[in-house]
Amino acid sequence: GRPGSGSGGGGRWSVEVYLQGELVTWSESTVGLGAAFVEECRDSGRNLAEDNLLHMVRAYGYASLDEAERALA
């Protein structure tokens, strides 16, 4: 995976650097909407990383993260 911050060397950029590069292409309005969405999710206890993983395992036919973890253990 990508390193959390800085350059991982070998042409591998961190999540932080990659996201900064993406965000500079967004309008201020889009950045504001994205920030508001992330804050709303945080305030309601929603875990976006977990949501992303759940969508991925469902695409592979698993009903839940627990089911995927059991199958891959």
pTM: 0.65
Q: What is the distance of C-alpha 71 from the center of its chain? A: 23
Helix axes 65-72, 48-59, angle to 10 degrees: 60
pLDDT tens per residue, range 16-54:
888 889 999 999 999 999 999 999 999 999 999 999 999
Q: What whole-number distance in Å separates Cα of residue 41 and Cα of residue 34? A: 11
Neighbouring-strand partners of residue 13: 7
pLDDT tens per residue, range 2-19:
566 666 566 677 888 888
Residues with Cβ within 8 Å of 60's Cβ and at least 6 positions away in sequence, in order, are 68
